[in-house]
Amino acid sequence: MAGVQAIFLAICFPVLVIGLHELTHLAVARITCPISIEHTSWVPLRLRLDFERVPAKATLRMIALAPLFVGSVTAVIAIQTGIWQQIKTADPYYLHHLMIAYWLLYIVPSPADIRLAIWPSAEDTQRVQVNPQ
């Protein structure tokens, strides 16, 4: 049983965290702008978002940094409600170290996210596929 738990913590959780990071981008993009989504590849996970109208630079920044905002709010809630204290005392003893690593994996923006958040150029808004209607 310990082997299954170790495999789950070592392999499944990081894949889940990376998937949730990308789904956070999608959820925020869907909430802020009407979009259509086209899957382009599995490795690396790539999706093309077709916006009905060209989003503003501030909207692109918000979409790029969404996992950072969501992860920060989640951490504050976990600390304030006492969930983090329960995780620190839970078995296995190293669980809280893994949770910190997974949390960092979730919130750390990719280089493309950082570039889009700092320098959302006009070509970024033009390169986004706009759905003609």
Q: What is the pLDDT of residue 133?
A: 44
Show pLDDT as tens, one digit a residue, over the chain (133 residues).
567 777 777 788 888 898 899 889 888 988 888 777 766 666 666 667 777 777 888 888 898 899 999 999 999 999 999 999 998 998 878 888 989 999 999 999 888 888 888 887 655 555 555 444 4
List the structure tokens of 132: 């003609």
For residues 108 and 127, what is the distance between their CA atoms, to the nearest angstrom?
24
Q: In Å, what is the CA distance from 33 to each residue of 6, 45, 62, 77?
A: 40, 21, 12, 27
Tokens of 27: 């959820």
Q: Which residues contact 67 (CB under 8 A, 6 or more apart)?
A: 21, 24, 25, 106, 107, 109
CA–CA distance, 49 with 74 (Å, rounded to integer) = 26
Residue for token pair 């969404």: 66
* Predicted structure pTM score: 0.77
- Phi (first) and psi of residue 33, to 5 degrees: -140, 145
